[in-house]
Amino acid sequence: MPDFYRYHAIFTYEDDGVNVVFPDLPGCITFGKDEEEAIRMAKEAVSLHIYGMEQDKEPIPEPSSMKKLAEEEALEPNESFYLVEAFMPPFREKQNKRFVKKTLSIPYWLNVEAERQGINFSHTLQNAIKQQLNIAT
């Protein structure tokens, strides 16, 4: 799995902001209120799109050359190409550290006593699972 990707985006400048599409990544679109925000959002969109493809074990398309895109994509006067780079390791790490919500059931009396003592259920459950899995904390 590569750590670095580069894809060309088409920035369309409108009165209300900048629309961004990626010809090589169908469905990968974003928007920014100005060019600076559009660039930031484009990097995030590419990273998220590629991460989703990696998780789904989908093939990641090869980026088209600028020459090929210029031949295939007839740009309007309010459009331009922009090369968007995505460095995946920090993005993957961030995604893997997200929390998930779990619903569980415990005896009523245990809940009452734990709440009375101010026990943090999430922290306690995390510690217990780590201990069960022999994961150092």
**What residue ranges do the domains of the chain occupy?**
4-96, 100-137
Per-residue pLDDT band for 137 (boundaries 50, 70, 90) equals: low
pLDDT at 136 over 80: no
Closest CA relative to residue 20, chosen from 7, 39, 36, 4: 39
Dump pLDDT digits (tens) for 100-129.
888 889 999 999 999 999 999 988 998 999
Mean of pLDDT values over 47-64? 95
Mean of pLDDT values over 89-104? 85
Residue for token pair 């968007």: 84
Domain 4-96 has CATH 3.40.640.10: no
